[in-house]
Amino acid sequence: MNRNEVIQLQHKRFAVKKYDSNRRISDEDWDALVEVGRLAPSSLGFEPWKMLLLKNEQMREDLKEMTWGGINSLEAASHFVIYLARKGVTYDSPYVAKLMKEVKNREYDSTSRFASRVKSFHEIDANLNDERTLFDWASKQTYIQMANMMSAATLLGIDSLPIEGFNREKVESYLKEKGFLNTDEFGVSVMASFGYRDQEITPKVRWNKEAIYEVIERIRSIKLQKLFREIL
């Protein structure tokens, strides 16, 4: 695949508002997308996520009341995913110790040099010092996972839609009631639907490159910047 084809694929990626309910993603293609999600990068390699694939028709119907941004997706998309972000992921949390031992195949000591770097990053660099900021950090990782899956879906000719239009508190309460969410461990981060569109792609309208991209080559002094502005 050359660079022009890469760009053309991005023009084909489309936030679908209307899906063809008669078309379903094959098991093989879906397994590939899940694997892409599993292999997604995450900060510190901590993988603070979980995906819920919502196949139950009654639950999809129930969620419409609290997921205004996903009503059409819940009605017709082939696959509907709820991305969960793990809570309380810190350098000394049981989850990190379990991850290191069972997944990374390495012993983990919360007093080690690596643990100290994690602690410094969380508490000083990123200022992750309470439940909310830790959850927001974990939630950012789920967006990376979702974006990778959406890009891979485009490669497979599958359409998708990221969804933030939902009442988080109500969705979490509903999933907890149904036994699919332990709110001590996870919170709902974002959602996405996947399937095949039943609408034409509209041309993308975006800021031009000059508005969103700047190359830093040399440092300009504050005085020179001020003088430059005055001249202009």
- Is the pLDDT at 58 greater than 80? The verdict is yes
pLDDT given at position 223: 60
pLDDT given at position 218: 81
Domains of the chain, earliest start first: 3-200 (3.40.109.10)
User: For residue range 146-158, what is the model confidence (pLDDT) as tens digits?
Assistant: 999 999 999 999 9
- Looking at residues 194-211, what average pLDDT do you find? 94
Please name which of 142, 135, 132, 90 lies closest in space to residue 115, comparing C-alpha atoms: 90
pLDDT given at position 173: 98
User: For residue range 167-187, what is the model confidence (pLDDT) as tens digits?
Assistant: 999 999 999 999 999 999 999
- Looking at residues 208-224, what average pLDDT do you find? 83
- Is the pLDDT at 20 greater than 70? The verdict is yes
- Looking at residues 212-227, what average pLDDT do you find? 76
- Is the pLDDT at 53 greater than 80? The verdict is yes
Beta bridge partners of 85: 49, 187
Whole-number Å distance between alpha carbons of 215 and 114: 33
Tell me the DSSP string of 170-193: HHHHHHHHTTS--TTTEEEEEEEE
Whole-number Å distance between alpha carbons of 171 and 129: 26
Q: What is the average pLDDT score of the chain?
A: 94
Q: How confident is the model at residue 1 (pLDDT cuts 50, 70, 90)?
A: confident
pTM of the complete model? 0.92
User: For residue range 85-128, what is the model confidence (pLDDT) as tens digits?
Assistant: 999 999 999 999 999 999 999 988 999 999 999 999 999 999 99
Q: Name the more confident of 102 and 229.
A: 102
CB proximity list for 198: less than 8 A, separation 6 or greater? 18, 19, 20, 21, 76
- Looking at residues 124-143, what average pLDDT do you find? 97
Task: Give the 3-state secondary structure of residue 104.
Answer: coil
pLDDT given at position 220: 67
- Looking at residues 65-75, what average pLDDT do you find? 97
